[in-house]
Amino acid sequence: MAATGRGMGVDVTLVGLGAAVLADQLGDLVGGMLTRLHAERAVRLRLGVAVEGLSGSGGRVSGVRLASGELLPAETVVVAIGSRPATGWLHGSGLSVRDGVRCDSRCRAAPGVYAVGDLASWHHEKLDRRLRLENRTNAVEQAQIVAANLLGEDRPYVPLPYFWTDQYDTKIQAHGFFPPGARADVVEGDLEQNRFVALYHLEGKVTGVLGWNMAKAARLHRGRVADAIGV
């Protein structure tokens, strides 16, 4: 949104709790690069600070109040702070609905009850951890597994997640997982040339690969990630 806004010549201020853009999701290395990228394109950054509220009158917003006391003038505000699964209607059903509908590795919440998509939290057998993903690829791939299981198969859902994002002329592709604390090592290209592939490791194990203007090379490393995870 920030990149598109700047591309249209709009003044943009990006506010976030993290110390760098997307550092919580992609680590400090890529977070630092993204922060620089937006700063170079004249996005005003207010990082590491919470939004306290909006100000305005007559039903129109005129500013954003920060916890630091600063009031940012604003004509348009985009709120992008995540979402919560709408599971209220399932309370009292007997299903566990803490952070989505809690499923086993087959995406089964209870005998004869399955969940897919944004609201399904399931046990990824190969990672041995619970995941809940919010993207279309996941909704489609998970539904395929659930359809097969409904028809009598017994398949675990063990995807290697993938997402991409284009910011200005920078194209980022990410395969796998980017857990907090993972180390990112540049294995191809370099930061100075604005083209690199970073492999993420946690506790000695490869968890993900990210391409920064190197989509093809990142895809070639995807196999290493899949092998390491066993999917």
Q: Does 99 bind ligand FAD (CB under 6 A)?
A: no
List, in order, residues 6 or more apart from 196 with CB less than 8 Å away: 186, 188, 189, 190, 211, 212, 213, 214
State the residue for tokens 């919580």: 24
Q: Does 57 bind ligand FAD (CB under 6 A)?
A: no
Q: What is the DSSP string of 95-134?
A: ---TTSEE--TTSEEETTEE--GGGEEEEETTTTEEE---
CB nearer to ligand FAD: give 134 or 153: 134
Q: Does 135 bind ligand FAD (CB under 6 A)?
A: yes
Q: Which residue stretch of 4-12, 32-40, 63-71, 135-143 sits at the interface with ligand FAD (rule: CB under 6 A)?
A: 135-143
- Residue closest to ligand FAD when measured from CB atoms: 117
List, in order, residues 6 or more apart from 188 with CB less than 8 Å away: 196, 197, 214, 217, 221
Q: Is 23 helix (H, G, I), strand (E, B) or coil?
A: helix
CB nearer to ligand FAD: give 11 or 164: 164
Q: Which residue stretch of 91-99, 131-139, 147-155, 207-215 sits at the interface with ligand FAD (rule: CB under 6 A)?
A: 131-139
Q: Does 187 bind ligand FAD (CB under 6 A)?
A: no
State the residue for tokens 């005003």: 44
> At its nearest, how many Å lie between ligand FAD and the CB of residue 100?
10
**In degrees rounded to 5, what are phi and psi of residue 132?**
-145, 115
CB nearer to ligand FAD: give 63 or 162: 162
The site for ligand FAD, by CB under 6 A, has a size of 9
Near ligand FAD by CB under 6 A: residue from 11, 75, 134, 185:
134
β pairing state of 129-131 and 120-124 = antiparallel
Q: Is 1 helix (H, G, I), strand (E, B) or coil?
A: coil
Near ligand FAD by CB under 6 A: residue from 117, 176, 208, 211:
117
Q: What are the Cα distances from residue 3, in Å, to 11, 34, 54? A: 11, 11, 23
Q: Does 78 bind ligand FAD (CB under 6 A)?
A: no
Q: Does 131 bind ligand FAD (CB under 6 A)?
A: no
Q: Does 89 bind ligand FAD (CB under 6 A)?
A: yes
> At its nearest, how many Å lie between ligand FAD and the CB of residue 104?
18
What are the residues binding ligand FAD (CB under 6 A)?
86, 89, 117-118, 134-137, 139
